[in-house]
Amino acid sequence: MDTFQAGADVVTNALRIALLSIAIVFAVICLLDWAVRTKKISPFNAIARFCRSTVDPILVPIERRIVRAGGTPAAAPLWALAGVVIGGILLLTAIDMIRLGVAKSVVIATGAGGIIYLLVSWTFTILKAAIIVRVISSWLPISPYSKWVNWSYRLSEPMLAPLRRIVPNFGGLDVTPLIAYILLSIIANQLLQLI
């Protein structure tokens, strides 16, 4: 168990360093591209030519989404940078959760009760993650039918639909995901104490 934990810590730290390095390089590239787009850097020097030939083709899909949402094309590098930073934070959080979950499962899964405990724990974790993904995707211009978020709508809608009939909207604000998340946490804690 100790060797697994030590190996997992080494891999996690190496991944953190790699993601931080990638984020720093991407930040410099995005800030240079933003400076070229906003004409803070002369459009005729080597940096501007590099950005136009190499970076801009990569940012075209992001730029299209921003323009469709009513933003300016010059904001594409900053949005790309924000996406990379948020994606890295979410990836590291997911890796930490998986590492802790595996360590916990090795300790707990010594019998049938441990396996049931893990299945219940993982089920409620997936349901809560679906609610979080659904809420975050509702803030962004992402279709609920997109292959990236459709799973969260499929998992969370059976929980949220009955709650919407009971809980009223507060000035157009739907608080049912928050209530569902809290209820899932309470139910999970109660069930896990019984096991």
DSSP code per residue over 14-67: HHHHHHHHHHHHHHHHHHHHHHHHTTSS-TTSHHHHHIIIIIHHHHHHHHHHHH
Nearest to 120 by CA among 188, 179, 58: 188
Q: Quick one: pLDDT at residue 122? A: 82
Residues β-bridged to residue 170: 173
| Verdict on whether the full-model pTM lies above 0.85 | no
What are φ and ψ of residue 72, in 5° steps? -100, 145
Q: Quick one: pLDDT at residue 72? A: 82
What are φ and ψ of residue 172, in 5° steps? 85, 0
Kindly tell me the burial class for residue 111, based on how many C-beta atoms sit within 10 Å of its own C-beta (0-12, 13-18, 19 or more): exposed
Residues β-bridged to residue 173: 170
Q: Quick one: pLDDT at residue 23? A: 83
Q: Are 150 and 166 in contact (CB under 8 A)?
A: no
Q: Tell me which residues of the chain have a pLDDT lower than 70.
A: 1-2, 4-5, 103, 105-113
Please state the separation of Cα 187 from the chain's center in Å: 24
Q: Quick one: pLDDT at residue 155? A: 92
> What one-letter code names the amino acid at 27?
A
The rounded distance, in Å, linking the Cα atoms of 107 and 119 is 14
173: three-class secondary structure by DSSP: strand
> Can you state the angle between helices 56-68 and 76-108, rounded to 10 degrees?
90
**DSSP per-residue codes, 97-153:** HHHHHHHHHHHHTTSHHHHHHHHHHHHHHHHHHHHHHHHHHHHTT--TTSTTTHHHH
Q: Quick one: pLDDT at residue 112? A: 65
Domain boundaries, the chain: 1-108, 109-195
